[in-house]
Amino acid sequence: MKKIFWSVVASMLMVACGTANKSQSEEEKVVSIEFSADSAYNYCAAQCQYGPRTMNSEAHEKCGEWIAEQFKKYGCEVELQKADLKGYDGTMLKSTNIIARSPKSDKPRIMICAHWDSRPWADNDPDEANWKKPVMAANDGASGVAVMLELARLLQQNDSAAVAVDFICFDAEDWGMPQWEDDTDADSWALGSQYWAEQYAAGSERPYEYGILLDMVGGQSATFYREAFSMHYASNIVDKVWQAASAAGYGSYFPAKDNGGITDDHVAVNQKAGIPCIDIINHYPDCEQSNFGPTWHTVSDDMQHIDKNTLQAVGQTLIQLLFSR
Ligand SMILES: [Zn+2]
């Protein structure tokens, strides 16, 4: 990821103001099921143990198999959606979207998603000598999948959720055009989700009421702002999630503040698949290195910089959402 389109912010301001008061008037019962940050942390570390999961690498292949096995263990039926996708530089990327479906049920169905590939170049590293090194992607990749795996584990143990959840691990998100190129190309990012959304649009089934994308949900001192595409396409889902955060006691991680639009996997889910989908993505308003945080696309995006408190805040918020009626 990802570029920010600041122009979208201005046009979204009206929408944001119009919905700001709703969460205060509605009280929500606290869900007692506990998201385990330790467990999520371990899922994150397990992915990193394979090394950077860059496209076409052995670490990528092996970690993909591991992720699929975990979801199967938690009762999901797993489909590996394989495709050869062309990177901006012409590289053929062996992409696998890992689609983990929970058992059939009469409940409304939603999708939670995250990308699982690592960026091949640390092109935002303060040291130029690191730009062509791969990113471990503990936060920018593994953290989202880790939270999803912990949710899958808890959903298998507790059948009282209000919704059925499918988990989609998108591939080839982070092969986007590096900063050393003179050009930018928004379409060079999020190739796996673009492919998935095209297949979804071409198919006849429409199972999902809405979607939630998790991206960089384990960073130290992270906060999550209301992202502009999410507000544009699915402001009611943003409201629900921010309200759940507040009810679960993690409102400070989810301030009622707006961010620009971000090129991420949820864009294709909204625009190509037509599913209202929000992006829970970290935002560091005061970070000079990047508003995506100090480790974003650097060689420091490793397990040393993963914060269990952030995993807990995001995970417990989602538990609150999924188990509230
Ligand atoms: Zn990235």
Q: Is the pLDDT of residue 155 over 50?
A: yes
Please give the structure tokens belonging to residue 105: 């049920």
Q: Model confidence over 39-53: pLDDT tens digits?
A: 999 999 999 999 999
Judge whether 166 and 101 are in contact, CB under 8 Å: yes
For residue 90, give both structure tokens: 């012409």
Find out whether 75 and 97 touch, Cβ atoms under 8 Å: no
**Contact yes or no for 270/111 (Cβ under 8 A):** no
CA 73 / ligand 1 centre spacing (Å): 28
Residue 186 Cα, ligand 1 centroid: separation in angstroms? 13
Of the candidates 93, 71, 34, the residue with the CA atom closest to the CA atom of residue 145: 71
b/e code 39-78 from CB counts within 10 Å (16+ = b): bbbebbebbbebbbbbbbbebbeebbeebbebbeebebeb
The strand order across the sheet containing 92-101 reads 77-86, 92-101, 164-170, 109-115, 208-215, 277-283, 223-224
Instruction: Please write the tens of the pLDDT for every residue from 198-257.
Output: 999 999 999 999 999 999 999 999 999 999 999 999 999 999 999 999 999 999 999 999
Q: Cβ–Cβ contacts within 10 Å for residue 106, how many? A: 6
Give percent above pLDDT 70 in the chain: 92
Higher pLDDT, 27 or 245: 245
Ligand 1 center to 140 CA (angstroms): 5
For 126, the 3-state DSSP assignment is coil
Q: Model-level pTM?
A: 0.93
Neighbours of ion ligand 1 (CB under 5 A): 1, 119, 140, 174
Ligand 1: centre distance to CA 190 (Å): 10
Q: What is the CA radius of gyration of the chain?
A: 18
pLDDT of 323 above 90: yes
Cα–ligand 1 centroid distance for 179 (angstroms): 12
**What pLDDT does 24 receive?**
47
